[in-house]
A and B are shown apart, each in its own frame.
Chain A
Amino acid sequence: MMAAAIEIRSATKTYATGAEAIHAFGPSSLKVEPGEFISLVGPSGCGKSTLMLMIAGLLDCTSGEIDVGGHVVKAPETSIGIMFQDNTLVPWRTVRGNIELQIELRGLPVADYRSTVDRLINSVKLGDFAERYPYELSGGMQQRAAFCQTLVHRPGVLLLDEPLGKLDAMTREAIRRDLQTLWLADRPTVIFVTHSIEEAIQLSTRVCVISPRPGKIEKVIDIDLPWPRDLSIKRGEKFSAYASEIEEIFHGYGVL
């Protein structure tokens, strides 16, 4: 049997100590198999991003532990790809330069990744914008470029922290589709944070419903829908049933 891609074991996070302590997350456990697409859905401030940072090794667990790729995360996990809500494009580099920044910071030879960079840029339809600077791009194009930056070192595990959070509905839908296509092609393990129930159902193999603070994985729902999940699937009864099931849970918390 293959090892889990990610295993969360009773992980918790408490910020500060004593009277000012804020219990932000957990304890929660979750086992993610390789190639799964897991969405974390929950209200603002429920600790979704905290969990993300703990998986990435950018934040220590207060208790419990997390495995990535079969070992316990103790330091920043450099083998994975992580994308934040505010993109990490730097204004002094072009789209191509920003993607290559990921390679350069890792001390890898940029020349070896030329074809990967080109392929990625074309796959997100930024071919004509490779030599443009971020400020010359729309918000959606910037997120596409940032997505390439996250993927260029070919990580097997992707952590996407509300990458579509600041985009308009139409751009969101378009990028969602691209994201699904890319995932179906390469089948990386993905943890995807979102506010959108619909987005979570459309993209995921499983949806984790997170309770309000302190965030806990309250329910894990298997999404049994065929791929690719296009508009016809989204209009289907089964899709709506999943959506109502999740909405019902949030209604119970009083957040919906």
Chain B
Amino acid sequence: MRRKNLTQFFGFGFLYLAMLLALMSLGLILYFVSVNGLKVLSWEFLTQVPRRAMTQGGIAPALVGTIYLTVGAILFALPIGIACAIYLCEYSPKSVIINVIRMSINNLAGVPSVVFGLFGLSVFVKFFGFGVSILSGSLTLGIMILPGIISAAQEALLAVPQSLREASLALGATQWQTIRKIVLPTASPGILTGVILSVGRAAGETAPIMFTAATFYTRGYPKSIFDEVMALPYHIYALMTEGTFPEQQTLIAYGCAFLLMLIVLIISGFAIFLRQRQRRYEFV
């Protein structure tokens, strides 16, 4: 009896420690990024272009660039991802080929981001001739987050009870009406969860935009989707690896990191808001 209790004590203790460790690393990241980042954060930092070899002024163009790239990636990947998932779950006949497609999509999710970067460079920048631009970067990031969105959307669609589809069809709805008005709205909270996870990834990745969209310095803001942009993750990378004033640059990099977290939080917050709104009819 006592031994059993001891085992349980250690068992729970281990679970508790694991949780604590995860929480602590999150807390430490937030703490260090905030403490260092807040030192440089000011209205000027948010709204000005960089000056004097990045050591003064703000990082506004990078902020804007990251928002463009992230939103662009979502705009591209979300409709295509949902369409793919609908095809795979609702329309396609169950067959070996479909299983192979599913497996490939899951594998695609594990491809390192730098590979997507090279892919974007050869396809969007060179082959389609979009150049190093917001468009190329958004498309590359979009392709990178596509597998995640497809998987999330598939899970969400599969979780919609078959009985709801039957109820809709039995009322004389077509399959398309059933999908559009019943299945998709019911699945949308799950799909939005996928979007939330993807936002963080799209906003934070450096490698995919390094060759396709990002540049270390621009004088102003991009005027069209064919312009190259500054982006926060690449800016952080550049500040930490290049330049002649490492001390000031490190501080600015922390400021950028803090903003990056903030952007992810804001875009995710918007998706969470949408998700809650969609859930208002779910059982409470």
A and B part of one assembly: no
